[in-house]
Amino acid sequence: MVDGTVICMAILNLIKRLPIDLGQGHYRHETKAKTVAFALAGDGNGKKALDFGCGDGFWSEQLKSRGWDVTSVDNYDFRYKYTQQVDAEQKLSFPDNTFELVWVLEVVEHVKHVEQLLDEFRRITKPGGRIIITTPNSNFWLYRILRPFGITPPKIQNPDHKQFFSFADMQRLFPQAYIYGFFPYTLIKLVISSGIGFLSPTFIVIEDQSA
């Protein structure tokens, strides 16, 4: 008899190679959540943006192409030559009301003191500015199916993840934000604003700061 866990892991490994957000390693610049976030960033026209967790700098360059004056920071990944080092667990060094855009893709799940970091993002965002965050939905349907087999988000996701968010967590952390997801996962992908907690593998959070 074939072990059900082995089958589930084989299926999961296959799914990770599909262009959905479970496949960050293969499609990290192409997932629907990130392209939706980029569309919602708009044109910068010389305004200041913070790319928090810039990694290889791909999105910093994309934001620059749309006219944003980008500051690129990361905790530990310095592949991008313009990266400045920050500690996500400490108070950020930027003055209040510095940026019109704070851009944070697949980062907050790596942070232990996430509420403290969100307070810092709000502090450094100018009135009328926008915070854009994407992060995995650790309670969408596939995880629910796998959980009875002992295959939980901590076993599947990046081993550095410290947070495993549900839709209820998003509502608590971002009570004034718009929260989006997407469905289905291949070919035509539709942005959704309902059923997100069950259907979407990723949350897209858009929080506009009061002017």
Say if residue 91's pLDDT is above 90: yes
What is the b/e burial string over 113-141, where b = at least 16 CB atoms within 10 angstroms of the residue's CB? ebeebbebbeebbbeebbbbbbbbbbbbe
Three-state DSSP class for residue 74? strand
Digit-coded pLDDT (tens) for 124-165: 999 999 999 999 999 999 889 888 888 888 888 888 999 999
Instruction: Taking the CA atoms of 94, 100, 106 and 111 in sequence, report the sign of the dihedral they define.
Output: positive
pLDDT score recorded for residue 13: 67
Q: Compute CA distances 65 → 60, 81, 148, whole Å.
A: 9, 17, 46
Q: What is the mean pLDDT of residues 100-129?
A: 97
User: In one letter, which amino acid is 146?
Assistant: L
Poorest-pLDDT segment among 28-42, 71-85, 120-134, 168-182: 28-42
